[in-house]
């Protein structure tokens, strides 16, 4: 997992009591939730960037794109 840092948060006492009674691994739940949120935000960012790229690419004539692809393929060993 690499280096770790401590992240703290305050929750109501009754929630902590319920989680303890249910044997919930709070650290694991928090790690999973933060990982899922980071993944969601990264995917959202990539979607936005791909939409911006699509707008730019639509401005380039298709013949130019085809020619660029052809040149790229021909330059491969």
Rounded CA separation 59/1 (Å) = 44
Above 90 in pLDDT, residue 72?
no
Q: Dmax of the chain from CA atoms?
A: 67
- Number of neighbouring beta carbons within 10 Å of residue 19: 14
Q: What is the pLDDT of residue 27?
A: 94
- Check whether 21 has a pLDDT greater than 90: yes
Q: What backbone phi and psi angles, to 5 degrees, belong to 4?
A: -120, 150
- How large a percentage of the chain has pLDDT more than 70? 99
Q: What pLDDT score does 43 carry?
A: 98
User: Using one digit for the tens of pLDDT, what is the confidence trace for 39-64?
Assistant: 999 999 999 999 999 999 899 998 98
C-alpha distances in angstroms, 17 versus 7, 11, 21, 31? 20, 10, 6, 20
6: which 2 tokens? Answer: 């401590």
Domain layout of the chain by residue ranges: 13-74
Instruction: Give residue 15's pLDDT.
Output: 97
């Amino acid at each position: 997992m690499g280096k770790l840092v401590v992240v703290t948060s305050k929750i109501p006492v009754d929630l902590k009591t319920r989680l303890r009674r249910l044997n919930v691994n709070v650290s694991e739940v928090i790690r999973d939730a933060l990982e899922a949120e980071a993944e969601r935000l990264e995917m959202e960012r990539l979607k936005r960037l791909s939409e911006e790229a699509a707008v730019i690419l639509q401005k380039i004539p298709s013949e130019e794109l085809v020619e660029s692809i052809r040149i790229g393929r021909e330059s491969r060993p």
